[in-house]
Amino acid sequence: LTEHEERDLTMNILAVGAHADDVELGAGGSLLKWARDGHSITIYTATKSAYRSPDGDLVRSAEVAANEASVAAEFIGADLITGPFECFQLDFGSTLNVALVDVVQSVRPDLVVSHWSGDTHPDHKGLASATLHACKHVPRILQYASNWYMSPSSFDARYHVDISETLEKKLELIKIYASENKRSGGKWLNYFR
């Protein structure tokens, strides 16, 4: 292929996640593979990703989340856009839809990857619905499962990306989120392996 033909085959890929680490958990191996293959990757994290435990203790600050997300985006070779929303406030509606439409118009993606609409986490579910709404003119939308929460339905993976060559890099990527690995006792690494 000529350089021009190769450029025509590259895609703008938009990875959408509610919180810093969602995209990396759900599609990190694919994003690493696609970046290696020359595609342009943009990550949109809708929230500032700070949150507290039910008893009010700070689990992760917005500053820690922003730093980890920035390092992770650089590790992938992706651009990072962080939204203005707070955790547990991603309700499907005009404010979220407008913000996401703005991102889609700016990135002009050929492919979008986002949360699975059957996810039971309220932020994931709200953002999945907003993504389907905001991306109705995008030619390809894939959804990922970023956790193992129980749900009324099972995640039905119909499209697979072979990440055997990027699995170890995905695990390195997950390790960047030290705040979440500490909170979860490293369960994410074992789950995704």
Residues 6+ apart with CB under 8 A from 136: none
Mean pLDDT confidence for 75-100:
96
The pLDDT-based confidence of 4 (bands split at 50, 70, 90) is very low
pTM comes to 0.92
Query: Residue 30 corresponds to which tokens in the numbers above?
Result: 């694919």
The confidence score (pLDDT) of residue 8 equals 58
pLDDT tens per residue, range 48-66 = 999 998 899 998 999 999 9
State the alpha helices, DSSP H only, in the chain.
3-9, 22-36, 62-76, 94-107, 122-134, 167-175, 178-184, 187-192
Name the amino acid, one letter, at 44: Y
pLDDT tens, position by position, 145-161: 887 767 777 778 888 89
Size (the chain), residues: 193
